[in-house]
Structure 1
């Protein structure tokens, strides 16, 4: 059984859609998923990127596209009352539901994503957060120093693995990014020979024009 590491941040609607689609996309394959919370904002800062919602026309397109994709996939989705929002409390809650050094299970991640992407409410409303935490009954304090350190270290580990956005999937040292990478991930899981002959060659550096600093 192969392991897939799923790097995620609940602020991303593509993470939610990929989470919902994953079982169907990988149907019939033998695998186990390790869910790893990270902070998308920290990834973007490290790689010098803006988030989609920080660029007006791209934000508009992103919101339209994710609603279309949800419609196409038959997945319920309503934008939260504020977006983007600070996902720190939810990402810490995810880790607090796991043992030290461990990862949250699918039930926990499903609850966190549903909290954000179903119903259209404020993801950071204090009462809603308190109710969610009570329902999940985390084994550790989400505001504890150990949980805070784990989230920071998990995000740094993602950067060191080359993760630049979410959702990202790691399988046998290969990284797959985005909802639309799920068919590619499924092919790798099946052992498609393309990955042995073309994966590295396709990404070989090529001389090109560089933007002035």
Structure 2
């Protein structure tokens, strides 16, 4: 039995596409999946990155790319009324749907993803959030200190594992970032020897020819 961990933030349309495609990727394999919410902004802050929506040409390309992939793969997708938005309430709701020390199930995560990426509504509209919370009936209070701390701990744990973006899949101690990397996940599950030979490690050690100085230094 393989174990797969899916790191996500519902703010990411790529995370929604990967979430929708994952069942087909693992079909036919003996795999358990943990769906682990993380705060994407926390990852960006830790690694000193900007999000795609913070660079206007990249933002425009991101959504063209996302809509093309959704069209190609038959995944429903409509951009929410505001994007980016603050996903904390939704991520905490996801955490609240799981018992303490566990990750939320696929059903709860799917409901929250669809709340964001179907219909084009405001992801943080109070009435919509209330209706979603009532539908999910979480076992814990999403606004409790315990749930808030659980989300922070989940993000910190992801950073400690080397996660820098979403979606990221962890399988056999390896990290696969991005929806495009699902092909690699599928190959690894099928036992492609590339992942167990020297190529996986060798590919990551290309020496940098130029290192950018810290900001503010000449």
* Equivalent position of 2:195 in the other structure: 195
Q: CA deviation at 1:33?
A: 0.8
Deviations 1:43-62 (A, max 9, x none): 00000000000000000000
Query: Which residue number in structure 1 is paired with residue 103 of structure 2?
Result: 103
Q: CA deviation at 1:28?
A: 1.5
Q: 1:209 to 1:23 in 2, by over 3 A?
A: same
Q: CA deviation at 1:206?
A: 1.1
Q: Give secondary structure in 2 for the equivalent of 1:186.
A: helix
Q: How far off its partner does 1:205 sit?
A: 4.2
Q: 1:88 to 1:31 in 2, by over 3 A?
A: same
Does residue 207 of structure 2 align to residue 206 of structure 1?
yes
Q: Which runs of 5+ in 1 are unaligned?
A: none
- 1:207, CA displacement in angstroms? 3.9
Residue 53 (structure 1) aligns with: 53
Runs of 4+ residues deviating >3 angstroms: none
TM-score, structure 2 normalization: 0.96
Task: List alignment gaps of at least 5 residues for structure 2.
Answer: none
* Mapped partners of 1:207, 1:187: distance in 2: 28
Describe how 1:124-139 pairs up with structure 2 within 5 A: 124-139=124-139
Count matched residues: 213
Query: What RMSD, in angstroms, separates the aligned Cα atoms of the two structures?
Result: 0.8
Separation (CA, whole Å) in 2 of partners of 1:177 and 1:164: 8
Task: Check if 1:64 corresponds to 2:64.
Answer: yes
The alignment's TM-score, normalised by the length of structure 1, stands at: 0.98
